[in-house]
Amino acid sequence: MPTCDTCGNEYDKTFTVTQGDRSGVFDSFECAAHKMAPTCAHCSCRILGHGIEASGRIFCCAHCAHEAGHDAAVDRVS
Ligand SMILES: [Zn+2]
Ligand SMILES: [Zn+2]
């Protein structure tokens, strides 16, 4: 039985998430996000949407990018 890389739960319907050269086996999207999702450089929340990159850092939304001094950042939808 595969086990979740985040919580260690044994589950027969785990799935694998690959991102660049990282990959993990998870039993739920919550666990996958916990381990794989980037965190906002300003508020530290998990970024589950597209996020915003500014100067090599990633933010959850334009508001956080603005708070961190990136005035030109705008929400990118696609
Ligand atoms: Zn899990
Ligand atoms: Zn944020």
31, two tokens? 């666990």
For residue 66, is pLDDT > 60?
Answer: yes
48, two tokens? 């589950």
CA of 24 from ligand 2 middle (Å) equals: 25
CA of 28 from ligand 2 middle (Å) equals: 23
What's the pTM? 0.74
CA of 71 from ligand 2 middle (Å) equals: 14
- The pLDDT assigned to 73 comes to 76
CA of 46 from ligand 2 middle (Å) equals: 8
Burial call 44-53: b when 16+ CB within 10 Å, e when fewer: eeebeeebbe
* 39: three-class secondary structure by DSSP: strand
- The identity of residue 77, as a single letter, is V
Cα separation of 78 and 71, whole Å? 20
For residue 34, is pLDDT > 70?
Answer: yes
Give residue 77's pLDDT band: very low, low, confident or very high (50, 70, 90): low
- Start-to-end CA distance of the chain, whole Å, equals 38
For residue 42, is pLDDT > 60?
Answer: yes
